[in-house]
Structure 1
Amino acid sequence: MDVVDAVAIFAAGIAAGGINTIVGSGSLITFPTMVALGFPPIVANVSNNIGLVPGNASGAYGYRKELEGQRARLLRLGSASGLGALIGVVLLLSLPDAAFTAIVVVLIAVALVLVVAQPRIQSWMAGRGGERRPDGGRWLWFGALATGVYGGYFGAAQGIVLIALMAIAIEDDLQRLNAGKNVMVAIVNGTAAVAFTVTWAFGGTRIDWLAVLLIAVGSSLGGILGAKLGRRIPALVLRGVIVVVGIVAIVNLLA
């Protein structure tokens, strides 16, 4: 890795940390950047996952005021997120490398659709009536579990999926739900990071620790900035950048 590559990964980490805090899908910045720089897809995925954990934590801390009163809810849903992440890691490490590229292309395409459709999803959620439980009930728990599996395997746009599910199942302010989403994504990525590190220690996973460090520092800064300034970024601009980067990622993976 030369200096230019290092700067690119660090900058991608800052962008991903901010985007994850605001809406999710930050991996659609860091993962394609690493693939474009020549990292093998699975190495890029695992290193990116570990590197984004500090950014997830800083983003959750930035929303600490909105987290007040959500302890019981997040303990319940966080258990599903952590369990799902472990299942996703097992799938990633068990399936052939060739399967990863094919599956991730589909997951990125789905993530891009969610990024584009997010305003319509939120509009529909805002007009949805009916009685909803404070913790979302059993269906939200299983939804968090499934999203955790997705996050442990790849994870781009898992935050968008989570906040959509939470807003459908829980009647609460969207900013409070976004704060809860940040905690749950941190649980997923943190659980996966521990599992990847353990398997690396026993020779089962390749990790580029310099890339991890660059993304970790960058995403931590981005998470703090995202919590403070992210709402000032025009949503249309943000979505456009994510979609372009995601399309580039698909092209690179299929090349």
Structure 2
Amino acid sequence: MTGAEQLIVIGAGLVAGLLTTTVGVASLVSFPVLVALGIPPVVANASNTLGLIPGGLSGSLGYRRELREQPSATWAVVLTCALGSVGGATLLLALPPGVFEAVVPWLILFTCLIVGAQPWISRWLRSRHTHAPEPRTAMSPVTTVFAALTGVYGGYFGAGSGVMMMAVLGLGLDLEFRVVNALKTLAVLAANVVAGIIFIFVADLNLTAVGLLAIGSVVGGYAGAHLGRVLPPTLLRILIVLAGITAAIAML
């Protein structure tokens, strides 16, 4: 890479880190940059996953206050997404690239709809109870299954996985939006860490791209956590939906 190309990759990592901890579509920025620089798609995908791990770590550190509020949900998210990402990373290495491409954009659009409508859906569900239900702060079996499936997708490709996780956790748990956003950031991190470890041993990597993305994403992730905490929930929800729609259209 030339010096200018290296700066571009660092910038892509910075923006991806910001998006990881806010709207959850980091790979939509960083992955196309790597491909545009001539890196083969599968190598770019694996390198991108590994390079964004520092951004997820710094973002989760920035959200540590929110994560401490719900320790049981935090551990459940880590375990389910980590296990799911094993299957996703295996699929990436074993299946033809076009297998998920026809389905994923529509899946992202559907989850955008869920994220946008989540306040109304939650109110409707609560209204069906004859008595005031207890707030749901622990993941149910259904929520756990869908979180694991999101981890599978995160290990396979990941663009829009944060939006999907916001939909799953927003419907499955009665938590403040900032806490759900923190859990989403941790979920993406868990999927990336496990998939990244697998890729180190069995996938081709561009280590230069990995290092440059890591430099940018670690700064962007921490800054994004503070931004995600202070943004009004309605505005953040709108940004997440718009980012998810953009990701789906780009993939289509």
Q: TM-score range by the shorter chain?
A: 0.7 to 0.9
1:59-74 → structure 2 map (5 Å cutoff): 59-74=59-74
> What residue in structure 2 maps to residue 81 of structure 1?
81
Amino acid in structure 2 at the alignment position of 1:111: I
Counterparts of 2:241 and 2:168, CA distance in 1: 20
> What residue in structure 2 maps to residue 52 of structure 1?
52
Question: Does 1:198 find its partner at 2:169?
Answer: no
> What residue in structure 2 maps to residue 177 of structure 1?
180
1:1-255 → structure 2 map (5 Å cutoff): 1-95=1-95, 99-101=96-98, 103-104=100-101, 106-108=103-105, 110-111=107-108, 114-115=111-112, 117=113, 120-127=116-123, 128-129=125-126, 131=133, 133-199=136-202, 205-230=203-228, 231=230, 247=249
Matched residue pairs, number? 241
Report the Cα offset of residue 36 of structure 1.
1.9
Task: From the superposition, tell whether residues 84 and 66 of structure 1 become closer, same or farther in structure 2 (CA, over 3 Å).
Answer: same
Report the Cα offset of residue 120 of structure 1.
2.2
Contact 1:108 1:156 in 2 (8 A): no
Q: Which runs of 5+ in 2 are unaligned?
A: none
Task: From the superposition, tell whether residues 87 and 118 of structure 1 become closer, same or farther in structure 2 (CA, over 3 Å).
Answer: same
TM-score by length of 1: 0.84
Amino acid in structure 1 at the alignment position of 2:224: G
Counterparts of 1:32 and 1:109, CA distance in 2: 20
Q: Which runs of 5+ in 1 are unaligned?
A: 200-204, 251-255
Amino acid in structure 2 at the alignment position of 1:226: G
Counterparts of 1:3 and 1:113, CA distance in 2: 40
Moved more, 66-75 or 217-226: 66-75
Contact 1:49 1:189 in 2 (8 A): yes
RMSD of aligned C-alpha atoms? 2.5
Q: Once the two structures are superposed, what CA deviation does each residue of 1:44-80 show, in whole Å capped at 9, x if it has no partner?
A: 1000000001101111111111112322222223221
Report the Cα offset of residue 155 of structure 1.
0.8
Contact 1:67 1:176 in 2 (8 A): yes
Amino acid in structure 2 at the alignment position of 1:149: V
TM-score by length of 2: 0.84
The percent identity for this pair of structures is 33
Amino acid in structure 2 at the alignment position of 1:171: D
Task: From the superposition, tell whether residues 125 and 177 of structure 1 become closer, same or farther in structure 2 (CA, over 3 Å).
Answer: farther
Q: Once the two structures are superposed, what CA deviation does each residue of 1:158-213 show, in whole Å capped at 9, x if it has no partner?
A: 111111111111111111111111112111110111111122xxxxx110001001
Contact 2:111 2:167 in 1 (8 A): no
